[in-house]
Amino acid sequence: MVRVHQQSTPRPTPPFDATAAGRLRAALGMGPEHVAHGMRTSFGLSHVTPDLVVAWERGLAAPGNGELTALAGVLWCSPGELVGAPRTLREHRVARGLAVEDVARAVGLQLLAYVRMEEADEWRGGDRQSAALAEVLDLSLADLVTVTGREPKLAELLRGAVTTRWQAYVRPVGKLLPMQRRAVGRALRALHTEYQDRPTATPGRPGGPADDAGRDFLDGIVGRFWSAVRRDGGGDA
């Protein structure tokens, strides 16, 4: 039976990529016992055993922040290579291997103020601080929108744009995002056309496959918007 150390169980952030950990270990020709030995001797994590390493790789447990950093060191990779796609402030910071002090200093916030934002997953910085956050965490515009809590509002605007007149939403979407209005307009027009040109449901048969396709389109509207922006190449601020 694998005994998971207390440090291994708190909320894994970012989500640990167990498959990547096993693949990287195998590529180095190491066994779980070699990884455990390296983490004990080089990083002072005396509780790490081969069984615990196996548990991580099987998805039965997830390393804590300190363990993740040490595991990356033993596997000669960055912490970001051992995690899934980060979404929260904390996940992006850990994926970059940064301490909270580093991020707080870079964005011009008192340490306690930043820690509270991260713990609540609620960014309250201004435009200049948001730009600094994007730089220090190497955030794409899509990531910045997500971690600053603007994604639900963006989704609401995009649904309105594709179901009514897209032209009326260029200004509000442009105010929400640091993008050129022309780029916003082109992306909204493309989305509107794609949504309006989809097959419509058969009359008298609501809830059919075409209705489901429309709901799926609206549910994934934010991802579709960023895809349209990338295709257009107009995502610059």
Question: pLDDT tens-digit profile of 150-170?
Answer: 999 999 999 999 999 999 999
Rounded CA-CA distance 165/178 in Å is 22
Q: How many CB atoms lie within 10 A of CB 79?
A: 20
- Contacts of residue 83, defined as CB under 8 A and 6 or more positions apart, other chains included, come to 14, 15, 16, 17, 68, 91, 94, 95
Residue 16: strand pairing partners: 83
* pTM (global) more than 0.75: no
pLDDT at 202: 46
Asked if 35 contacts 74 with a C-beta cutoff of 8 angstroms, the reply is yes
Residues 4-29 have pLDDT tens digits of: 443 444 444 567 889 899 999 999 99
Task: Tell me what pLDDT residue 204 has.
Answer: 45
How far, in Å, CA of 8 to CA of 10, rounded?
6
Torsion of CA 82, 97, 103, 141, to 10 degrees: -40
| pLDDT number for residue 75 | 96
pLDDT at 14: 61
Instruction: Give me the residues of the chain with pLDDT under 70, please.
Output: 1-14, 200-211, 234-237
Tens-place pLDDT, residues 196-214: 988 764 444 444 445 677 8
Would you say 234 and 187 are in contact if contact means Cβ atoms under 8 Å apart? yes
